[in-house]
Amino acid sequence: MRAAIITVSTSKSRGEGEDESGAKLAAFAEAIGAEPAGPDLIPDDRELIEERLRHWADVERCELVLTTGGTGFAPSDVTPEATRAVLEREAPGLAEAMREASRGHTRHWMLSRAVAGIRGSTLILNFPGSPSSIAQAGEAIADALPHALDLIAGRPASH
């Protein structure tokens, strides 16, 4: 299974600092048995985010597309809107579980607007932009992902 890694950060895409979140997300992908594809490091630009999501899902045929960044309240945070524009079906339980996982670690856990959903045979997940939050959010959903991916792919899955 291949998992595309997309970091959405205008400052990091301009070379202002290291992309720690993308590296943490790639490590998460490897921990669940995925081969990281990419990485993509792009600015907070809705059209570009949509294009990269479509590329990794439709052209590269990754089973999983993981994004980090752009899910907050700042005017430039447009990752959820870009993601919704390309999704065919939302998977709100995954996004809710990721938010809940941050609850014990930050008082701002409820400010994440991250979404999750399906495009074709690809599961797309918005992770937080904070490197420390990626492991927390990932741990909350890791056990459910193999089953979810089997269902999306139409593979036999026990319930």
Per-residue pLDDT of the chain (159 residues; tens, 9 = 90+): 999 999 999 988 888 889 899 999 999 999 999 999 988 999 999 999 999 999 999 999 999 999 999 999 999 999 999 999 999 999 999 999 999 998 888 888 888 899 999 999 999 999 998 888 999 999 999 999 999 999 999 988 676
Instruction: List the chain domain ranges.
Output: 2-153
In this prediction the pTM is 0.94
Q: Looking at the DSSP assignment, which residues form a beta bridge with residue 127?
A: 68
Q: For residue 83, which of 121, 40, 124 has the smallest C-alpha distance?
A: 124
Burial 6-20 (b: 16+ CB within 10 A, else e): bbbbeebbeeeeebb
2-153 CATH: 3.40.980.10
- Give dist(CA 156, CA 159) in Å, integer: 10
Residue pair 26/39 in contact by the 8 Å Cβ criterion: yes
Joined together, the tokens standing for residue 13 give 């895409």
